[in-house]
Structure 1
Amino acid sequence: MNTTPHAGEPLTYYLLDGPLTSALAAFRPSTGALVYLGLARDKAKLRKALARDFAQLARRSGSAHPLRHGGDPRNAPAGVAAACEAIVALISGGDASPPLVPTEYLFGTPFQRRVWDAMARIPRGETRTYGALAAEVGRPRAARAVGQACGANQLALVVPCHRVLPVGGTPGAFRWGAALKQQLLSAERAGKAA
């Protein structure tokens, strides 16, 4: 994952639809890197979350990223259009095996980014506990901090925080809704078994 900020560069976002949910994907036009992927059925909520999250980022970093709607993703630059197609496959319960799309972290602490890198390596159809992921990043007693990193993830599905579960194996919390988390996990398990 690239983590080099391009302060103030405008970002382009696209609204995408799938049977499980809708998504809002924001890209850095100069690199084609995915920098944000949010989920919700309601597109107004997606736009509101995008504006809120980037306003908070601007306050923390001192650098705003203008956001513009890119229109129909089929008319996007080739790499971005392909990434949008892969995201639609994911929100349809399908597979978009890595490399899905180049990504860049604009959000998160160094620890959270390490957790996100570890999450990105969890294979489709598999899960990890918060504690196992904490051990994987070298902080075996930091299961709670791993949970907070999951909640702070701004690259849904690409950094698959839905694959991280509490010790008991129940779905647990999910920023975009526990029901959606369960649907995503069920679709991935079904795809792995096929």
Structure 2
Amino acid sequence: MFQRLRLLPQFKTVSGADQIILGGTITPDDVTVELGAGTEGAFSTTFVVHQFHKRMMISKEIRLEFVARNRIWRFSLLITPDDAWYGPPPGSWCASISLQEPSPPTWLDARLVLPDAQDSPLPQLRLKSKQMMEAPRKDVPATQVVVAMDDNPAFASLQYSGSSYVSADETLKFRLEAKLRKPDPTVL
């Protein structure tokens, strides 16, 4: 239902820049959430992002929102801005995840996976919270996890045209596999 609402004009999360880039007919990004079994709040989210390179090079951020485990999440692929006070150096291609209001706090232990039949094991990028994640409230910004894609060569390749992970029609497909638990510091 959350994803269907995002298709209505008044609830679209596509930025103004992306609307201009993609023209009048915007194919919405596809976000599919599957809940896992167990007591650790497991879920996986599959993302299909259209016009990936064009949007990254011009907008510098692709925001994707979804609901999982009674929380509203914002996942972003972004290029770190010059005035960023957080995370990797300016110009770095990154993945970021945060909670949105009115989500309750939680830990996050997750990984991004690039599905590709040629690679075994599948390329992965770890996203883990160093503290309890919280949604923004009043003047306090949301706690977010930001990871540079350079931490894994497969993810680093996404910044170049011709990456084997981006289809000929500029579509990027990837998956977020998450558990709402305190991350084990000994696991990379």
Q: Same fold (TM over 0.5)?
A: no
Structure (1/2) with the larger strand percentage? 2
**TM tier relative to shorter chain:** under 0.3
